[in-house]
Amino acid sequence: MAASRQDNSAQTAALDYDVIIIGAGLSGMYQLYRLRELGLSARVFEAGTGVGGTWYWNRYPGARFDSESYSYGYSFSKELLQEWEWSEHFAGQPETLRYCNYVADKFDLRRDIQFESRVTSAIYQDDARSWQVALESGARHSCRFLITAIGPLSTPTLPRIEGRDDFKGQSFHTARWPKEKVDFTGKRVAVIGTGATGIQTIQTIAGEVGHLTVFQRTANWGAPLHNGKIDAETQGRI
């Protein structure tokens, strides 16, 4: 048993990290916080240039929560709960991203997050009982535990429409929206899909475009959001 423990210690010492986390969204940041509490060395690899995950990538017009804002807030820190106040019952993407950045700064999470680092492969080594993780840059890192915090719907899918690649106009996917503002003034715009994202986009740009066409395969159930500002009394109860 003593020899086995020594072997395990030697293997662990040779690894780059105890844990590698893929993704710096709400789950990835929380995992990093918890692993630090456990005294483990951890590294987060994030493909984007900042934290936020879903709320970093999904910056399309009208993007916002479809659940009460406070239900998205972390509950591991009473101090954080007291410090942050949501302005709306269903916060918009910019406010949510500000919250993510606030958390990252408050708990100094960025020092263990490597941005613009897309993971291309993760291979488990049976003999060493460890993971070999490769990045798009060609860099490789090893760890004992691997946590994928990328979410179940993180990779966008473009419609398989003949001639799509020959289209000469502007085209965007809501999950990879550009950081700079897109001007729709007076333009003919088509939106494909009427899920939550489609509904949010459509109602936001409808008054700006010259003509709007919506393509819907299957009708989705929707309800009025009844959003509004959170007053002081409600904030106190929250």
Q: Is the pLDDT of residue 38 over 50?
A: yes
Q: Is the pLDDT of residue 143 over 50?
A: yes
Q: Is the pLDDT of residue 132 over 90?
A: yes
Q: Which residues, in sequence order, are CB contacts of 196 under 8 Å at separation 6+?
A: 66, 220, 222
The mean pLDDT of 43-65, rounded to a whole number, is 96
Q: Which residues, in sequence order, are CB contacts of 92 under 8 Å at separation 6+?
A: 62, 63, 64, 65
Q: Is the pTM higher than 0.75?
A: yes
What is the pLDDT, as a whole number, of residue 6? 46
Note the maximum CA span of the chain: 75
For the chain, percent of residues with pLDDT exceeding 70:
95
Average pLDDT of the chain, as a whole number: 92
Q: Which of 9-23, 83-97, 126-140 has the lowest mean pLDDT?
A: 9-23
**Confidence class for position 93, pLDDT limits 50, 70, 90:** very high
What is the pLDDT, as a whole number, of residue 4? 44
What is the pLDDT, as a whole number, of residue 192? 95
Tokens coding 13: 């010492």
Tokens coding 144: 């004992």
Q: Which of 40, 96, 145, 71 is nearest to 104 (CA)?
A: 96
What is the pLDDT, as a whole number, of residue 152? 84
Q: Is the pLDDT of residue 158 over 50?
A: yes
